[in-house]
Amino acid sequence: MTNIEKSARGLVLLTIFCGVSACGYIFGDDGVFRDPAEDYKKAPETSVITVPEGKNSNFSQEIYAIPYVEDSLILEGEFEVPRPTPLVAGESDEIVRIQKLGDQTWALVAMAPGEVWPQVRSFVTASGLQIARVDARSGIMESGWVQLQDQPMAARFRFRIEQGVQRGSSELHVLQMSQVGDVENWPAKSDNLELESEMLRGVAQYIANSTDAASVSMVADQALSASGKISLQEAPEGYTFVRVGLPFSRAWASLARALQRATFEITDRDRSTGLYYVKFIGPSDEDGAGWFDWLFGEEEHPLAGRDFRVTMTEENERQVIIRIKSQEGSEPLTKREEQGLLTVIKGSIN
């Protein structure tokens, strides 16, 4: 018998053997070639890795940390499951937008910090600036001194990237410093606001033009990305509110823009008491129901035309609380209506 015939005979015997009695021995749970796909379910839980004091513990941190989501309100009684709400309402097609409040200017970017970071670094390099310091975990990048045309003294710039109000968004701040006086410590605000503004516009335009080729910095994304600075929560007393991680002055201005984008008409306001008087208009026929559908389903918008009070209370210097109530003497909002309108407002704040 030739070697080929012996091999063929062995293969036939193996096939018959598996077919009648022993495939489990070869491929079963206890077989030689078993499928290990379910092994993770049996893996024991071990203690957290302890890194000796003074050693770098970055390697043991979660690369894809799952942020805590606070929008977990539960409505009482039976109701129709609404459609998912959008992450950001309003001008969602704008990748980069310059924001201004007083003498503060920053760029709002509809990209996660981990995507913005390499874009900023690429811009700095393409602009011919020397990078003097980089701290991806803090979202800070500093240039070296550079002599700009038509400027009497050299300047340097600090780029700071942080998580935006909405998840999946970022804020980009630029700080300018002139080479005069104390050059060791960065100033609280730019020495030359015009140079700051020019640099911010330049990097914002670069990001807007480069979104198709955007890469991701895992270090910056891990350190800076989160679920956002805004959440919908329920108080122990039972009412719903929006918590925003912004100082009062900026949150007040952001709320005004958000109300308009959420189709509220502002009829009056009182900043000293943190109060907006508004009328809910609802989406126009030209725009269609769009993302308002989730709130009212197939119905016409039953709250359209009603007046409300939107209040903002300062919780601390970096955090405010937003509530919505019916006008005095009007029918109170149901829990679903209260949560629905606040969700519409929440999705429009940036």
Indicate left, alpha or beta for 210 from its phi (over 0: left) and psi (-120 to 50: alpha). Answer: alpha
Is 144 in contact with 133 (CB distance < 8 Å)? no
pLDDT, one tens digit per residue, over 150-162 is 888 999 999 999 9
* 325 conformational bin, left if phi > 0, alpha if psi -120 to 50, beta if neither: beta
Examine the domain organization and report whether 153 and 265 are in the same domain. Answer: no
Residue 196 confidence (pLDDT): 94
Q: Which domain holds residue 246?
A: 230-346
What pLDDT is attached to residue 59? 60
Say what the pLDDT of residue 299 is. Answer: 54
CATH no. for residue 243?
A: 3.30.310.170
Q: What is the edge-to-edge ordering of all strands in the sheet holding 170-178? A: 96-101, 104-109, 170-178, 155-163, 140-143, 131-135
Which of 224, 259, 275 corresponds to the end of one domain?
A: 224
Question: What CA dihedral angle connects 177, 178, 180 and 184, to 10 degrees?
Answer: 30
Q: Given this model, what pLDDT does residue 14 score?
A: 46
Which pLDDT value is given to residue 20? 45
How many CA atoms within 13 Å lie on the side-chain side of 202?
Answer: 16
216 and 103 fall within a common domain: yes
Of 218, 231, 229, 340, the C-alpha closest to 291 is 340
Identify the pLDDT of residue 337.
87
Residue 148 is predicted with a pLDDT of 87
The residue type found at 254 is S
Residue 269 forms part of a structural domain: yes
Q: Does pTM surpass 0.85?
A: no
Same domain, 182 and 220: yes
**Nearby residues of 330 by Cβ (< 8 Å), 6 or more positions away:** 306, 307
Whether residue 302 is found in the same domain as residue 187:
no
Phi, psi of 138 (to 5 degrees): -95, -5
User: What total of structural domains would you count in the chain?
Assistant: 2
Sheet with 319-326: strands ordered across: 230-234, 240-244, 319-326, 307-316, 275-280, 264-270
Q: Please enumerate, as own/partner, the contacts of 329-332 that have beta carbons within 8 Å and a separation of 24 or more.
A: 330/306
Residues 241 and 186 in one domain: no
CATH at 168: 3.30.530.50
Same-domain pairing of 106 and 147: yes
Residue that is last in its domain, among 194, 224, 254: 224
* Boundary-marking domain end, from 224, 243, 277: 224
Quick one: which of 101, 71, 99, 110 has its CA closest to 247? 101
How buried is residue 50: exposed, middle or buried, by Cβ count under 10 Å (0-12/13-18/19+)? Answer: exposed
Residues of the chain with confidence (pLDDT) below 50: 4, 6-8, 10-14, 16-22, 25, 79-80, 82-92, 220, 223, 288, 290-291
Predicted confidence at residue 319, as pLDDT, reads: 92
Could you give the CA distance from residue 304 to residue 279 in angstroms, rounded to a whole number? 8
Query: What contacts 24+ positions apart, CB below 8 Å, involve 135-140?
Result: 136/217, 136/219, 136/220, 136/223, 137/219, 137/220, 137/223, 137/224, 138/223, 139/113, 139/220, 139/223, 139/224
Query: pLDDT tens digit string along 51-63?
Result: 788 777 666 666 5
- pLDDT for res 212: 62
Which stretches of 276-317 are DSSP H helices? 293-296
Identify the pLDDT of residue 114: 86
Number of Cα atoms under 13 Å in the Cβ half of residue 175: 13
